[in-house]
Amino acid sequence: MDTAQTYFLLTILLPLLGGMFTYTIGGKKGINVAVAAMGGGFVMSLILLLSVIDQPWVIRWKWVPGIELGWNIDTTAAVLMSLVSFISLLVHLFSKHYMFGDKAIDRYYGKLGFFTFSMLGLLASDHFLLLFIFWELVGFSSFLLIGFWFDDIQKAQGARKAFMINRVADAGLLIGVILLVVELDVNFISELKEMPFSPMLQLAGFGLMIGAFGKSAQFPFFGWLPKAMAGPTPVSALIHAATMVAAGVYLLFRTQEILTPDVLAVTAFVGGLTALMAAIAALTQFDIKKVLAYSTISQLGYMVMGVGVGAYESSLFHLWTHAFFKAGLFLTAGAVIHYYHHAHHHCHRFDAQDMRNMGGLRKILPVTFIAFLINGMALSGLPFFSGFLSKEGILSGALIWAVGHGNAVGYLVVVMAFVTAALTPFYIGRQILLVFFGESRTVNKPVEGMEPIFSVKLTLLILAVASIWIFSALNPFDGHGWWLGNLLFDDHVMPDTSHQFLLHVTMALSVILVISGLALSYRKYKPDSAVVLRFKTKQRPKGLLGKLSFNAWYIEDIYEKISDGFLNISKTSFQIDKKIIDRSIDLFGVSTVVFAKAMAIVDREIVDGLVNFAAWVSRTIGNAYTKVHAARVQNQLLWLVLFIIVIVLWLQF
Amino acid sequence: MINNLLSLMIFLPLFAAAIVGVIPSHMKGAIRWTTLGTMLVELILSLMLFVGFDGSHQAESWADAFQFVEALPWISLKFGSLGALEVNYFVGVDGISMPLIVLSGILLVIGVISSWKITEKVKGYFVLYLILSASLIGCFAALDFFLFYVFFEFMLLPMFFLIGIWGGPRRSYASVKFFLYTLFGSLLILIVMIGLYLSVGNDGVNSFSLIQMMDGSYLPGSLLNPETHFQLWGINIRYLAFGLVLVGFMIKLPAVPFHTWLPDAHVEAPTAISVLLAGVLLKVGGYGLFRIAYSIFPDAAMELAQPVAILGMISIVYGGLVAMAQNDIKKLIAYSSVSHMGFVLLGLAVITLEGISGSLFQMVSHGFISGALFLIVGVLYDRTHDRQIENVSGLASKLPLYTFFVVLFFFGSLGLPGLSGFVGEVLVLMGAIGAESINQLVPRWIGMIAVLGIIISAAYYLWTLQRMFFGTYWVREESWDQEMKEINLREWIMLAPLGILVILLGIFPSVLLDPIENSIQFLVESIINQGKTYLSL
Amino acid sequence: MEITLTYYLMLSAFLLCAGLLIVLIKKNAVFVLLGIELMLNAANLNLVAFSKFDPSLDGQIFAIFSVVVAAAEAAIALAILLNIYKTYKSSDLDDLDTLNY
């Protein structure tokens, strides 16, 4: 066992073992073990990163006859593993406070550990089948965590629906993976290279794309992510913002070499479309987590689009920055929800996630406010924050791609991307204004001194600070100056100088859009504005666009229709089974019995009848004969004599 | 190693049945413990078989493909000028039958433990149980078609009584349906058996030996000799014979549209019998397809690969759809068995290494998982005497350990990676999708449609999980509430080993697949090569 | 006139016919037995007559045999008849129909 293997095993197994220990033996007191193990895992992931910088670590082993699976830790995998470990560690820390007092907190930590293990395994997988295995495990652990409060049937349903939608997309991924492995003999991600176009490659590419769309919540699968908000908020931060949902982007990023131009074009278009649709959906939500959920979908759309347009590096960069600021946003939202939950715990019908009940938290939770503000600005793409840098690369990549192709769809993608860039600051500005500014809109007066404890504050601040530009790139306006860029990409070069003009256009345009978006949201949602005051009546948005937005394009209703249709097919099948197949079998059985009965009658009346008839005939004759001749020995003798005489006479003449 | 391992495994339960037969029927404990002891010995013997099996053995022909072979003359009737009837007691295992015998060994022990709660006519029950187990193992070990058929038929009898006497309210309907259905199937097999006997042999002497049948030592000019091209109703008689055995074993498997006996039989059977029925008996059908339909009629198997694969695909999708519409949890699991056994048929039909290994793996994995699922239903049924899904909800908060097992086996069954169900299904799908470019037998779209099966199975399992285990705790009858206790030691002893096996096989499938790799390779090669030879004649 | 074989045979035939007639028409078992004796003696007469015209003595010996057998048969038949009479109080053959039913 070489050292890299030791580090790797420790990295992925420590979180799992810590979680399992807590779940099985440790109980509520074992939480610290889980957190410590996670910390160890994070340290190990850093050591692993250092040990594979020069030389990727690859191992293969036989899984079943004919199929070898393998791990491959290159710098990309190691960096992302560190990222996952880090976010997971923060979530472990945060949850200690957030989940305090929950009766099943040990189970919670078990599931968290399992998720972290699966996610790390996914990142380290080299073989496509192994990737699929961890892909599914990630989905499964997400199911377990979303459904953590399974007593609440709504939440359990959310978990089920999220898993099902993922499963549908996973079927596409499975087909893609099988086609790659079996038909094209492409097994290992680390050995991918450009391949000549073939219809099979195209089909496999679309399979991978569908799988990626499922995990990364792209159209038409994005409906599962808002459902996933049923889970505890730290889980949303870990799984549904920073790590699992990025798996799709990671997959596309890893397989870029074999994706055909058609697949990439569809990817770019769907990414742009999802970014826009989700941004519009985020505009009107009242649930603090739902806004963030749609925002996540929208940002993932950016990343997917980035891969589609060829801006892989920027996509991965955005994945990186997004992981920090979105996890930060979710955790701060968690802190807010936690606060409201405890402030109003005596009031059962109070919805601690409804922004219409909030307001004025700036003074009550100052640290939370600052963290949320910084992360929100990073999300909106304001210069001097990390989000600006990474988004910049994607937007310019899209523009360069569109100009290069010069067709209408390409420009449509660009337009969608830029509209989204304007909508993002608008909805996040709205959220900040509604939650933190103005006065509390609830009846109860806010309780003072509810700022969370130190470990929580630390977690939030770490994430907030990480969203400042300097931790991503030295130059706050250089979208291609990622610190890690040189490490991750061998051919890390600045874009062609001929695109310099387009880069400047993108930058100018996006800064204008961000600022105008923020300004617009302040104009509309500033404290004491008419819109905000109306919230007390809790009405839903009106108008077509408002309804579309609030109901997220009715995607869930569409899912419902599809699943109802499926259920109907299923019921019809059962009726066929019962009424046709089983009935015909029964009919066959019954007709056999009827036939047998008929045969019995025939047997009794005809076959047996013949025999009986013969017997009857002989009996009748016999009877008649005995009546005539019975016991008359002399009569018999007489006949005898007569016959002898006849015979003698016969012989004589 | 014991020389007569297989004979010991076959006759030990019969011997034990005789012993149980003379124990006074009021000594229920003695009867149970005797049976359990016997089955534990069987388990040890089957593990010895597993360990003693030489996986590195590369077979040249079927004649040397088998290990632990025992052969003795059994029935010998001379009919003068008509020839002679020669039946041999001929047993042995290769990589196809060995895992199934081990599977039987494990599930039979669990079946006894699960039967502990049988309180009526205990003696009769366990005698029948022992006879059943002997015939099961005999069926997997037999290398003489006549012997196979004897064990195959003999299985029906104890099963009929076990369902018909110890079953639920509609037991007589179910047991008669089961009996007649399977009898019908074995009738078809009988026809083919006689046809094969008349066609196969050496130097003009007919033979029932499966090995000679598989090696294709046909008598010149005989009925089923591939050179004869004998036709009936304008169809090659070998195809007809293949069709007959196919239907015969598909009834046992069961595959759509011959599956309707299964839900009835399962619903009415006592828990232990359901476990055996799903876990082992269905595998006899699959084993028959491997050993008889595909090995003896490779030409027909290749020609008819596509229709068979389509039947498998329909079983997968249709079985899943029907399962989703069930309100009775036991029926749901029964239909899910139909769906999962469809993978066995599909994997077999494509005749590739992946497909056939997947098919065999799926049989073993389904044996463990479905056995465990029926035990799980049994746990609930013991407490409530009810199986309706909508009559309970929120059990997870009341019975966490039970729910843990439920989640484990539900997800194992729906093919979560890391659990054994996934390996079988993914190998079968790889085989089905890849077959078009390997041997051009089965087109790609069949496998792609079969992928729907994994979505559907997720749908019904998760929906069941949500309806029964999630939400707030509620049971229909108040009296059930007192009975709702966490699983006890006996149930734990049954479920835990299965859980461990499911996880073990899921993570390290090569534990099972490595020893049998050569056998499967040989099977695939011999089917393809022989099939091509026969077709070219 | 010379007494030829024909005369013997005609007497024998007459005796046989007489015996047969008795057997056929008499109801009483004793008479039937008498009829049988008559027929037997007709046969004996035949045997003796043939023997007279034949140098060998075979016919005579047969006749003696036949007489002995007839005596034995008569003795047994009469014994049966006595027993039947004891049981059924009748020697009428038409009453003896037990086996018929």
ipTM of predicted complex: 0.92
The confidence band for B156, taking pLDDT boundaries of 50, 70 and 90, is: confident
Residue B336 lies inside a defined structural domain of this protein:
yes
Question: How would you label B471-505 residue by residue, b for 16+ Cβ within 10 Å and e otherwise?
Answer: bebebeeeebeeebeebeeebeebbeebbebbeeb
Q: How far is B221 from chain A (nearest CA, A)?
A: 38
Query: Is the per-residue pLDDT at B477 higher than 70?
Result: yes
Q: How far is A588 from chain C (nearest CA, A)?
A: 53
**pLDDT tens string A32-49:** 888 999 999 999 999 999
**pLDDT tens string A121-159:** 999 999 999 999 999 999 999 999 998 988 888 889 989
Range of lowest pLDDT (A583-592, B298-307, B395-404): A583-592
Touching check for A134 and chain B: CB below 8 Å? yes
Q: How far is A331 from chain B (nearest CA, A)?
A: 27
Touching check for B534 and chain A: CB below 8 Å? no
Contacts of C99 in chain A (CB under 8 A): 631
Touching check for B465 and chain A: CB below 8 Å? yes
Distance CA A415, CA A423 (A): 12
Closest CA to A243 of A18, A83, A44: A83
Check CB contact under 8 Å for A577 and B513. no
Distance CA B260, CA B178 (A): 9
Q: Cβ(A396)–Cβ(A506) under 8 Å? A: yes
**Touch between chain A and chain C: 3 or more Cβ pairs under 8 Å:** yes
Question: How is chain C split into domains, by residue range?
Answer: 8-91
Q: How far is C55 from chain A (nearest CA, A)?
A: 30
The pLDDT of residue C1: 67
Q: How far is B224 from chain A (nearest CA, A)?
A: 31
Touching check for B529 and chain A: CB below 8 Å? no
Touching check for A631 and chain C: CB below 8 Å? yes
**A67-73 and A57-64 beta bridge pairing:** antiparallel
Q: How far is B169 from chain A (nearest CA, A)?
A: 19
Q: Cβ(A296)–Cβ(A225) under 8 Å? A: yes
Range of lowest pLDDT (A68-72, B85-89, B498-502, C77-81): B85-89
The confidence band for A436, taking pLDDT boundaries of 50, 70 and 90, is: confident
Residue B492 lies inside a defined structural domain of this protein:
yes
Write down the architecture of domain C8-91 according to CATH.
Answer: Orthogonal Bundle (1.10)
Q: Cβ(B91)–Cβ(B143) under 8 Å? A: yes
Query: Is the per-residue pLDDT at C99 higher than 80?
Result: no
Distance CA B63, CA B57 (A): 13
E strand or H helix at B50:
helix B28-52
For B331, the closest chain A residue by CA position comes to: A574
Residue B52 lies inside a defined structural domain of this protein:
no
Residue B531 lies inside a defined structural domain of this protein:
no
Check CB contact under 8 Å for C24 and A637. yes
Number of C-beta neighbours around residue A249 at 10 A: 27
**Touch between chain C and chain B: 3 or more Cβ pairs under 8 Å:** no
Closest CA to B4 of B68, B89, B94: B68
- Give the three-class secondary structure for B129: helix
Question: Chains with 3 or more CB pairs closer than 8 angstroms to C?
Answer: A
Number of C-beta neighbours around residue B173 at 10 A: 15
For C96, the closest chain A residue by CA position comes to: A631
Contacts of B404 in chain A (CB under 8 A): none
Phi then psi for B4, rounded to 5 degrees?
-100, 50
Contacts of C25 in chain A (CB under 8 A): 634
Q: What angle (nearest 5°) sits at the alpha carbon of residue B208, between those of residues B93 and B63?
A: 45
Q: How far is C54 from chain A (nearest CA, A)?
A: 27
Distance CA B75, CA B207 (A): 12
Q: What secondary structure letter does DSSP report for A24?
A: I
Touching check for A605 and chain B: CB below 8 Å? no
**Section C56-70 average pLDDT:** 85
**Section A218-224 average pLDDT:** 89
Residue B33 lies inside a defined structural domain of this protein:
no
Q: What is the mean pLDDT of chain B?
A: 89
Q: Cβ(A246)–Cβ(A216) under 8 Å? A: yes
Contacts of B354 in chain A (CB under 8 A): 66, 182
The confidence band for A544, taking pLDDT boundaries of 50, 70 and 90, is: confident
Query: Is the per-residue pLDDT at A494 higher than 60?
Result: no
Q: How far is A585 from chain B (nearest CA, A)?
A: 8
Residue B456 lies inside a defined structural domain of this protein:
no
Which member of C93, C99, C100 has the closest CB to residue A634? C93
Which member of B451, B459, B509 has the closest CB to residue A63? B509
The pLDDT of residue A169: 93
Query: Is the per-residue pLDDT at A185 higher than 90?
Result: no
Check CB contact under 8 Å for A178 and B470. no
Check CB contact under 8 Å for A157 and B318. no
Residue B379 lies inside a defined structural domain of this protein:
yes
Q: How many domains does chain B have?
A: 1
* Structural domain range at position B415: 304-389+400-444+486-515
Question: Chains with 3 or more CB pairs closer than 8 angstroms to B?
Answer: A
Check CB contact under 8 Å for B454 and A171. yes
Touching check for A626 and chain C: CB below 8 Å? yes
Instruction: Indicate the pTM of the whole model.
Output: 0.86
Check CB contact under 8 Å for C93 and A633. yes
Q: Cβ(A559)–Cβ(A223) under 8 Å? A: yes
Q: What is the dihedral of CA B74, B75, B76, B77, to 10 degrees?
A: 170
Check CB contact under 8 Å for C24 and A630. no
Q: What is each CA distance from A383 to A111, A475, A510, A573, in whole angstroms?
A: 38, 10, 10, 58
Distance CA B182, CA B465 (A): 33
The pLDDT of residue A448: 58
Residue B409 lies inside a defined structural domain of this protein:
yes
E strand or H helix at A336:
helix A312-343
Q: Cβ(B250)–Cβ(B182) under 8 Å? A: no
Amino acid at B99: P
